[in-house]
Structure 1
C-alpha cells in the first residue's frame, strides 16, 4: 500500500506530492490528464500567453507614435494557439518541480482517467487502474459552474474560448468576475465585438470599488459593451449567425445576439465521479469538500487541498494548501494553514491587482488613511504611453500598517507584488517609503504612494522617491 496517494496533479497535488515524498513517504500521484492541472494546461499559463499576444497588438498600434514605421499586421489566431501549446509543453517539460518530484521517487500516473473511491482506502480509475493509500489527498480542482437555463447547451466555457480556431466576430460573456473579464478583454483586443454581462451592480465585485469602476470605464472606452445590474438570464436560442440570449434588466425583458456565448459565472468542485460517499467524505452546502485547518476532511486519513475545497481558488494558495495537507498526512495534524498575504490580479487591459483589504472592508474595522497616485503622474507609464490607472494604498492610521494595495494599469500584477512583500514582512508604510526603488519603473509607484501616505500621517520619511 502507498503511504500517501494524491489525486490530481495541479499546483495543490504537485506540491503535496513533493512534500510527502520529501518527508520520506512512499508517494503516488494520479491525474486524469497531464501533469500541471488547469494552471498549466487551461488556466494561468495559456491565459497569460494569450494576454501577451493582446499586449503585443497594443504595442504594435503605438509604433507610429514612437517614430517606427511598420507594415500592416494581423492576428493569425491558429498560429497563436500553436504558440500557446508550445508554451504549455515547454513549461511542463522544463518544470523544475516535476524533475524534483521524479527525483524523490514519486510514482506519477498521467492520463489515468477519472478516479473514484471503491472504499475509504482504495481508488480506481476509468482506465482500470487501481490504487491503495494509507493516506489520501484530494486535489482534483474545480470546473466552470453551468448556467441552468433553457438552451444552456448552446453556450461555452472559458476553456472553449481558448481553443477556438478563429476569433469570433462577436461574443457574449456572462459573468463579470475574474474569468469573465479576462475572456472579454482578450477577445476585445483580438477584434471581437464583446458584450459583458454582470448580475451585480459592478463587474469585479470582489475588488475595490475604485478598481471595478476604472476597469469598467476602460473596457467601455475600448468599445466593449458592459452591462451591469442584469436581473436574470432566462434562456438561450440558436440563430442563423450564432446565439441569442434573453435576459431582464431593471425588470425589463431584453435580448442580445452574438456568434458565441461564454458563461463564466464561477467555479464548482471537480468531484464528479469521485464517489465520495464510498469514502464517507462530506461536502459543504456549496458542494466543495469540507476541510478543517489541517486540510483534513470528515474522514481522518483523507485530506483535500486546492480549488476542490472552495477556499481562495488561486495557484499559489493551492500550492500552499497542498504543502500543508501533505505535511499533516505524513506527520499527523501539526501544521494549520496559516494566514496568507495573497496578491491577486488579472491580465486584462488594463491589468488590475490587489493584496489585502479593500477600502470598504478596511474602514469597517480600522481608522484608515488612503493614498492614491495616478499612473499619469509617474515617469515609466508616461514613457511607455500607458498612463491609464492608479495605485492606491490603505494604511491604518494608528499602527501605520499597510492594510491593502490596489493597482489598475500596465504591469499592475507585477507592481502589487512589492506591496505584498512589504505586508508579509510587516513593514510600516514609512519603512516602505524609505526603500529606494529603481527608477523609472512601474513598481516605483508603490513607493510613491507609500510616501504620500507617510506625509498624510505627518511622519518624516527622510527620503522622497522619484516620480
Structure 2
C-alpha cells in the first residue's frame, strides 16, 4: 500500500476549502494540509459577500435623516467618509482572516501560504518547488471576475478592485445586469456616487422572477440610478493625459460618454488556469469549470472539487455544504450526494430580493400553477411618503398545492426568505401557509394572508 504525506490536501483557503479541511482533520482525524496563494477566507470573506454587505449597510444610512424627519426627528445629513469606512472595513477583514487561520491551526491542519498545482493524481507541487503526496486532493480555488473582450478594457475596474479604491469617484458607469452589478449600483449610489448602469439585455437580473426584476429596476430608477437597458459599449479610452483620469466610453450606438470610472460586472470565471488539471485527466467544461459528479468527484478518482470552481451553484453556503458532503463521503464512509434543490438566496439591492424555488415562467412550463402576489407600500415608507413598494409572491402547483417558488422584494428580504425557505424545503403547501396566523403589523404577514390567486397558468 502506498504511503502518503497527507490523507487530504486542499487547494484553496476559501469558505468551502477551509470547512472541508478542518472538519476532515477535526472530526475524521485525517492528516490534512491546505495551500492558499492569497488571503484566507476567499472571495466571500475578503472580496465578496462580507465586505459587500458591510458596504450595503453603509449605503443604507443615506436616506435615514430624510425618513427620520417624518417621524419627528431632526437629524442633519452629513457626508460619507470613504477613508474612515475603508479603515474599519480592512480591520474587520483582517480579523476574519485571522479567525480562518486560527480555525485551521486549532484543527491540526498544516497551512502553506503558496500557490499549488497538481503534479499527478496524488501529488501537489507548491510554488517553491516542494511536493507533497496525498491520498485525496480537493480543489476549492473559487472563481474571479473577468473583463469583457473589448478595446482598452483594462481601464475599467472589476469587483475585486472596489474595496481598494483610495477615493470614490464622482461618477461611475457600471456595465452588467447581474446581481453584482445591481448590488453595487445601489451601494455606490447610496454612498454618493453618480451611478449609470448599462445592460445589453431587455431587463436586469436575468434568471430571477420577472415581476421581481421589474420592481427592482423601477426602484433603482426612482432612487436616481440612471439604468439603461439594451445598451452596450464597444470601447474605452482615456479622456485626457492622466492615466487615472476620466474614461471615455464609446457605446455601440456610436455615442461617446465620459465617466470618472468604469466598473465591469460582466461575469466570473473558475480559477483553473495553470493548475495541471487537464494534464492529469481532470475534465474541464466550456467555461473552464471542473466537471464533477454528484459526490464532487472528478474524472480522476482521487481528485475532488467543490465551490465556484465547479460552477454549479455559486454561493458560499453551497460551497460549505459541498465541503461537508465531501468529508461525509470520503472520510466518514457515508456517501452523501450534494443537494442543490430549493436553495434560498438573496440579492442585496435596495430593496433586497429574496428568492427560493422556481420563477413563475419556469413553473408554468412544468404544469398548471396558481400565482399569489401582492405589491404595496409598507407602513414605514408609506408614513414617510416614499414611493417604494414591496412584493410578496408565491407560485403554487395546482395539482399538489405545494409551493414551488417564493419571491420577496422588500427591505431585509434576505432575512425573510431564510424562514420561507425552510417551509418550502419541507414541502409546504399553500394551505399550510394559510393555516399560519399572521404576525401583525408586519410586511411578512402578507405571505400568509393571500387567499385568492392573482392569476393562473
TM-score after normalising by structure 2: 0.91
| Partner of residue 77 from structure 1, selected from 63, 67, 82 | 82
Task: Provide closer, same or farther for how the CA distance between residues 438 and 450 of structure 1 changes in structure 2, counting only shifts above 3 A.
Answer: closer
Counterpart-to-counterpart distance in 2, 1:205 and 1:374: 21
Counterpart-to-counterpart distance in 2, 1:273 and 1:333: 33
Corresponding residue number in structure 1 for 2:403:
402
Alignment of structure 1 residues 215-230 onto 2, 5 Å: 215-230=216-231
Task: Provide closer, same or farther for how the CA distance between residues 432 and 86 of structure 1 changes in structure 2, counting only shifts above 3 A.
Answer: farther
Counterpart-to-counterpart distance in 2, 1:436 and 1:101: 45
Task: Provide closer, same or farther for how the CA distance between residues 363 and 183 of structure 1 changes in structure 2, counting only shifts above 3 A.
Answer: same
| 1:65 equivalenced with 2:70 (yes/no) | yes
| Partner of residue 107 from structure 2, selected from 92, 95, 104 | 104
- Aligned-pair CA distance for 1:83: 1.7
CA distances 1:276-315 after superposition (whole Å, capped 9, x unpaired): 2343212011110111111011111000000000111011
Task: Provide closer, same or farther for how the CA distance between residues 279 and 217 of structure 1 changes in structure 2, counting only shifts above 3 A.
Answer: same
- Aligned-pair CA distance for 1:422: 0.8
Corresponding residue number in structure 2 for 1:14:
18
Greater mean deviation of Cα atoms: 25-34 or 4-13: 25-34
SS in 1 for 2:325: helix
- Aligned-pair CA distance for 1:385: 7.0
| Partner of residue 451 from structure 1, selected from 441, 449, 452 | 449
Counterpart-to-counterpart distance in 2, 1:456 and 1:181: 30
Counterpart-to-counterpart distance in 2, 1:127 and 1:349: 46
Q: Is the 8 A contact 1:301 1:329 kept in 2?
A: no
Counterpart-to-counterpart distance in 2, 1:333 and 1:148: 45
Counterpart-to-counterpart distance in 2, 1:342 and 1:422: 12
- Aligned-pair CA distance for 1:45: 0.3
Counterpart-to-counterpart distance in 1, 2:41 and 2:304: 20
Alignment of structure 1 residues 307-322 onto 2, 5 Å: 307-322=308-323
- Aligned-pair CA distance for 1:11: 1.8
TM-score after normalising by structure 1: 0.89
CA distances 1:310-331 after superposition (whole Å, capped 9, x unpaired): 1110111111111222333335
Q: Is the 8 A contact 2:65 2:76 kept in 1?
A: no
SS in 2 for 1:171: strand
Corresponding residue number in structure 2 for 1:268:
269
Corresponding residue number in structure 1 for 2:55:
50
| 1:429 equivalenced with 2:434 (yes/no) | no
Alignment of structure 1 residues 340-379 onto 2, 5 Å: 340-376=341-377, 378-379=378-379
SS in 1 for 2:417: helix
Alignment of structure 1 residues 225-304 onto 2, 5 Å: 225-230=226-231, 232-240=232-240, 241-248=245-252, 252-304=253-305
- Aligned-pair CA distance for 1:190: 1.2
Counterpart-to-counterpart distance in 2, 1:242 and 1:278: 44
Counterpart-to-counterpart distance in 1, 2:30 and 2:218: 53
Q: Is the 8 A contact 2:70 2:384 kept in 1?
A: no
SS in 1 for 2:76: coil
| 1:121 equivalenced with 2:122 (yes/no) | yes
- Aligned-pair CA distance for 1:101: 4.5
Unaligned segments of structure 2, at least 5 residues: none
Q: Is the 8 A contact 2:41 2:96 kept in 1?
A: no
SS in 2 for 1:253: coil
- Aligned-pair CA distance for 1:128: 4.7
- Aligned-pair CA distance for 1:372: 1.4
Which 4+ residue blocks in structure 1 deviate beyond 6 angstroms?
383-386
Q: Is the 8 A contact 2:295 2:337 kept in 1?
A: yes
Q: Is the 8 A contact 2:35 2:115 kept in 1?
A: no
Q: Is the 8 A contact 1:381 1:410 kept in 2?
A: no
Corresponding residue number in structure 1 for 2:9:
5
Corresponding residue number in structure 2 for 1:143:
144
Corresponding residue number in structure 2 for 1:460:
none
Counterpart-to-counterpart distance in 1, 2:327 and 2:132: 18
Q: Is the 8 A contact 1:375 1:381 kept in 2?
A: no
Corresponding residue number in structure 2 for 1:463:
none
Corresponding residue number in structure 2 for 1:37:
42
SS in 2 for 1:61: helix
Greater mean deviation of Cα atoms: 151-160 or 12-21: 12-21
Q: Is the 8 A contact 2:65 2:74 kept in 1?
A: no
